[in-house]
Amino acid sequence: MKGIDEYNYKNKTVLLRIDINLPLDPLTKKIVSESRIKKSIPTIKALLEKGAKLVMIAHQGDTLDYDNLIPLKEHAEKINACLEKPITYIDDPCGPAAQAAIAELRAGEGILLGNLRYLTEEVSTFENAIKLKPEEMEHTYLVRSLLPLCDYYVNDAFAAAHRNAPSMVAFQRLLPTAAGPLMEKEITALDRIMEHPKAPCVFLLGGAKISDAFGMMRQVLQTKRADLILTSGITGEIMLMAKGYSLGEKKETFIKDRGLDVFLDAAKEYLEQYPEKIRVPVDLAYEKNGKRHSLPVEKLPQPEMFMDLGDESIKLYEKEIARANTIFVNGPAGVYEKLPFEEGTRRIWKAIASAKGYSVIGGGDTVSAAQKYIALQDVDYVCTAGGAMVRYLSGRELPLIKAMKSARAE
């Protein structure tokens, strides 16, 4: 993959794909965290300083994430708050208004085009149903509209690397292409975990999107990358069920209603094959009369709804984190949004922040929890990606990485 310093962009039109898909307040639809914008700013500044005519494309929300499907106007305002010379927002992803604005750009000027997800060919439902190969995407509206106007393509959207959309994978065959510096950083940080993690290498897998955790667990156990997996959240609860504990009717119904019990077989398999490498909670927390209580797992089942690690489990995990030389975290340890249940996530995140080991965290809620409890600079790398990061660490080939590997040079 070429980096952005390998081309001369002076007076050339550069198409830059960034990922500034952000969490929104459900009522006001205002941006609640702009961390992906902040991470994209160095790339934007670098290309403008190199004299590019910069055309930025990005998405927000989706047909499958309709509550977050909004225009990129506020995103452009947030970008401008970080730049000396403002870029212009064009509320059109690639139609006549976008094309006219591109044609008028001068060296060192930038525009952000409209939300890509207003184009049928960019939404997940289309992507899942139609399944175009990158070479078949030459005929999409986006590529036909933007290709004749652009000289270079830069992709800095690692967080969307698992999306096989034209904006992500089609231009690499058609324009001289570079990987943006953020993408390079994300891959370097994840490779440090994938390739030669310094032992002991500890994975903390919690949260609720446990299909991600289970895919990654198989990979890191099989390839001997993980010396220890500390399970929490629903992942930890499924592990307990796989060991034969009953969590009580309330929690088991919650798990079954969400179809998460399908991971029980995988959990049993991992526990049988790698018993010494997987830690499960020794106690769980519940609330009674507004107070937090911990219940040792030997006392299960109980009717309470468990929503966090218990105090003994937290202490045991804190010790392992302090000993680790490499730490990867995905998924909060409990329902950290509710006060009595933030304890596990808060204390474990604090342990990560003060650990000596190289630490990488990623995932929407994982990073939000980190912002709540610790200073992000105390973590060695905060990945902007969620699904893409987990798939990368699960050893799956990402459409973006495949496209970048066979990208056109000058």
Ligand X SMILES: O=C(OP(=O)(O)O)[C@H](O)COP(=O)(O)O
Q: Give the residues lining the site for ligand ADP (CB under 6 A).
A: 206-209, 233-234, 237, 307, 330-332, 334-335, 337, 363-366, 386
Q: Was 364 annotated as part of a binding site? A: yes
Separation CA 374–CA 348 (nearest Å): 10
Residue 65 touches which of ligand X, ligand ADP, none (Cβ within 5-8 Å per kind): ligand X
Considering the rule CB under 6 A, would residue 70 count as an interface residue with ligand X?
A: no
What is the CB neighbour count within 10 angstroms for residue 177?
23
Q: Was 378 annotated as part of a binding site? A: no
Considering the rule CB under 6 A, would residue 19 count as an interface residue with ligand X?
A: yes
Residue count, binding to ligand X (CB under 6 A): 12
- How many Å is the Cα radius of gyration of the chain? 23
Stretch that binds ligand X, among 103-111, 141-149, 334-342, 380-388 (CB under 6 A): 380-388
Residue 180 touches which of ligand X, ligand ADP, none (Cβ within 5-8 Å per kind): none
User: Is 38 exposed, middle or buried, given 0-12, 13-18 or 19+ CB atoms closer than 10 A?
Assistant: middle
- What is the chain's percent helix, strand, coil content, to nearest 5? 50, 15, 35
Q: Was 191 annotated as part of a binding site? A: no
Contacts with ligand X, 105-144, as mask; x by CB under 6 A: -------------------x--------------------
Separation CA 83–CA 104 (nearest Å): 20
Separation CA 116–CA 113 (nearest Å): 8
Minimum distance of ligand X from residue 210's CB (angstroms): 14
Minimum CB distance to ligand ADP smaller for 3 or for 296: 296
Residue with tokens 């324009």: 175
Residue number, nearest CB to ligand X:
386
Nearest to 186 by CA among 406, 391, 323: 391
Helices (H), 274-409: 311-323, 343-353, 364-373, 387-393, 399-405
Residue with tokens 């893409």: 388
Contacts with ligand X, 154-193, as mask; x by CB under 6 A: -----xx--x------------------------------
Q: Was 19 annotated as part of a binding site? A: yes
Q: At residue 182, what are phi and psi to the nearest 5 degrees?
A: -70, -45
Nearest to 115 by CA among 165, 61, 166: 61
Nearest to 91 by CA among 101, 82, 83: 101
Minimum distance of ligand ADP from residue 236's CB (angstroms): 7
Q: Was 308 annotated as part of a binding site? A: no
Minimum CB distance to ligand X smaller for 62 or for 186: 62
Residue 72 touches which of ligand X, ligand ADP, none (Cβ within 5-8 Å per kind): none
Q: At residue 335, what are phi and psi to the nearest 5 degrees?
A: -80, 80
Residue 113 touches which of ligand ADP, ligand X, none (Cβ within 5-8 Å per kind): none
Q: At residue 17, what are phi and psi to the nearest 5 degrees?
A: -95, 120
Tell me the helices (H) and strands (E) count for the chain, helix number first: 16, 15
Residue 208 touches which of ligand ADP, ligand X, none (Cβ within 5-8 Å per kind): ligand ADP
- List, as residue ranges, the binding site for substrate: 19-21, 36, 59-62, 117, 163
- List, as residue ranges, the binding site for ATP: 337, 363-366
Q: Could you list the residues that contact ligand X (CB under 6 A)? A: 19, 21, 62, 65, 124, 159-160, 163, 364, 385-387
- List, as residue ranges, the binding site: 19-21, 36, 59-62, 117, 163, 337, 363-366
